[in-house]
Amino acid sequence: MADQIKELIEKINQEGVAAAEEKARQIENQAKAQAEMILQKANNQAKKLIEEAQEKVQRMQESSQASLKQAARDVMLALKSQVNQTLQNLISAEVSTALNPEELGKIIEGLVKEYCVKENKGVIVYLSAEDKNKLEGLFLKRLKDELKKGIELRSQDDIQSGFIISFDSGKSSFDFSNKALCDYIGLSLKSKVAELLKDTK
Q: What is the pLDDT of residues 154-182, one digit of tens each?
A: 889 888 888 898 888 778 888 888 888 88
Amino acid at 197: L
In 99-149, which residue ranges form alpha helices assigned H by DSSP? 101-118, 129-136, 138-147
**CA dist 77 to 36, 82, 127, Å?**
61, 9, 36
Name the residue among 126, 127, 119 with its Cα closest to residue 168: 119
How much is the pLDDT for 146? 58
**CA dist 104 to 10, 39, 133, 138, Å?**
136, 94, 13, 14
Q: Rounded distance, CA 29 to CA 22, Å?
A: 10
* Contact call for residues 165 and 125 (beta carbons, < 8 A): yes
Of 53-57, 94-98, 140-144, 163-167, least confident by mean pLDDT is 140-144
Q: Give me the residues paired with residue 166 across strands.
A: 124
Q: How many percent of the chain have pLDDT more than 70?
A: 75
How much is the pLDDT for 119? 60
Q: What is the mean pLDDT of residues 43-60?
A: 83
Q: Rounded distance, CA 67 to CA 64, Å?
A: 5
pLDDT band at 40 (very low <50, low <70, confident <90, very high): confident
Q: Is the model's pLDDT at 198 over the cut of 70?
A: no
